[in-house]
Amino acid sequence: MLIGVTIMTLLPIIASFFLSFTDWNFLHGFKRIDFIGLRNFERLFADSIFWQAMKNNLIFMLVVPTTLALSLLLAVIINKYVYFKDMFKVIYFMPYISSVVAVAMVWQVLFHPSYGPVNQMLMSIGISDPPKWIADVNFALPSIMMIMIWVSIGYNLIIYIAGLQSIPAELYEAAEMDGAKPWQQFRSITLPMLSPTTFFLLITGLIGTFKVFDLVQVLTGGGPANSTSVVVFHLYETAFVHLKMGYASTMALVLFVTIFLITLIQWYGQRKWVNY
């Protein structure tokens, strides 16, 4: 495992760090690597498309708390009030294990500006000029965020249900004997006991929002007007379309530092609200 992590993770990170100080078209081979110092970083700080992509990524982080809240609500309902729990688990988990391309194509049809079922329904209830969704600069990013929430709910739901089933029933029985109402039990027992699960899903979810690529690639290609471009998508275009591997490595390094700092803040912050 150590060899695998070294070859597949550590060496690429180190290589990316060194390449960020170079101008290199990988089609020319290693002999054509030109060391240019900090020019890639100077170019990056003046790159408006990169900062637009970073802004989109930060907005995309809102997907995580929304998904956690909806998943926890559904988990509590399914775990306590619903029969055929396994059937509902499968139903909600299906989008998560489905092909991203297939999911994107389905939503592309649903969000079609003129003939999509979503806009057809909106027009049928009196909205004469519904949003253009993924074709609209103002609605394209929220549309992808909604799809991401829909896809992610199943995974979070399964994890939350597992966490709920591990909470001792005696705690709820004791609280009920003391006269605690359902909301009080949820606030004082369920949320604290699920805090490690929430922390795990929060960290992995936020990292996942910075890795979004496939939905953007299939649905919008970063458009319209870069309104859905994210850092990984811009990095991919720079490296494999424009063949600027050194500049792309600079983006990768900045992205790595950003994710590391966000994770570090969460790691220190969890001491105040996570109960082990």
pLDDT tens per residue across span 29-78: 777 888 998 999 999 999 999 999 999 999 999 999 999 999 999 999 99
Helices (H) and strands (E) in the chain, counts: 15, 2
* Other CB atoms within 10 A of residue 55 CB: 14
Q: Return the pLDDT at 30.
A: 78
Task: Evaluate the CA torsion angle 85, 174, 195, 200 in order and state its sign.
Answer: negative
User: Could you read off the pLDDT of 103-123 as tens digits, one per residue?
Assistant: 999 999 999 888 889 999 999
Q: Return the pLDDT at 39.
A: 93
Q: Return the pLDDT at 48.
A: 93
Distance between CA 86 and CA 78 in Å, rounded? Answer: 9
Exposed, middle or buried, 100 (CB in 10 Å: 0-12/13-18/19+)?
middle
Per the structure, how many domains does the chain have? 1
Alpha helix stretches (DSSP H) within 82-128: 85-97, 100-110, 117-124
Which residue segment(s) compose the domain that 262 sits in? Answer: 2-272
Distance between CA 197 and CA 97 in Å, rounded? Answer: 21
User: Could you read off the pLDDT of 245-261 as tens digits, one per residue?
Assistant: 999 999 999 999 999 99
Helix, strand or coil for residue 1?
A: coil
What tokens does 191 get? 């949320």
Distance between CA 122 and CA 130 in Å, rounded? Answer: 7
CATH number of the domain to which 258 belongs: 1.10.3720.10
